[in-house]
Structure 1
Amino acid sequence: MGGLIEGVWERIVKNEGEVFKQKRGKEFSYSVKMNTLYLRTTNRIISKKTFEKALDEVPLENTVPLQNLQAPSYLYAILMDNRIRKDDY
């Protein structure tokens, strides 16, 4: 899935500032600087490398496969959003 990250990351950057929803409905947005995503509703950051690791688990039914990664509920919300996943997974 190494090549997948570039297209997914491009869409993540393109959707910067948009509203996303966690599985339980909490809304959030983010900003991106270089290879780091900064969550606006919390003090957390997620690296592009973390997204790349998470892509090994897609498609996802829940956050369980991501529990060993930073901010699993946010990873899930972003990666499973149709604006990000498109038809890739």
Structure 2
Amino acid sequence: MATFESVWRSIEACSGQVFHTKRGIPFSYDVRHGQVHLANTNRILPRTDFARAHALMPLSGPGQLQDLQGPSYIFGILTDRRIGA
């Protein structure tokens, strides 16, 4: 499994690209000040939530992340092949 630092660098590098939730809903994001700003909603996902989710990998679904902000989005990003979590 990749380190969280390398995963976070991939998340930053993929900023602006289209990702999908497990249900297939497309979304994109920008990374600013250590936070993921979702383009399709007013949600801001902190880096710490990605670190917590990464520690739980592998994940079977966003239901395992219900205690985090935007679990569907975090799951969609971390399980995407471009991120390599």
TM-score range for the pair, normalised by the shorter chain length: over 0.9
**Which protein, 1 or 2, shows the higher relative CO under an 8 Å CA cutoff with sep ≥ 6?**
2
Q: Name the % identity.
A: 42
Query: Could you list the per-position Cα deviations for residues 39-62 of structure 1 after superposition, in whole angstroms to 9, with x for gaps in the alignment?
Result: 000110111111001111111111
* Unpaired stretches in structure 1, ≥5 consecutive residues: none
In the TM superposition, what are the counterparts of 1:1-89 in structure 2 within 5 Å?
4-85=3-84, 88=85
The alignment partner of 1:84 has SS state of coil
Alpha-carbon deviation of 1:68? 0.6
Deviations 1:19-39 (A, max 9, x none): 001111110000011201100
Gaps of 5+ in 2: none
- What CA RMSD, in Å, does the superposition of the two structures yield over aligned residues? 1.5
TM, length-normalised to structure 2: 0.93
Query: How many matched pairs?
Result: 85
Once the two structures are TM-superposed, the CA of residue 63 in structure 1 deviates from its matched residue by 1.0
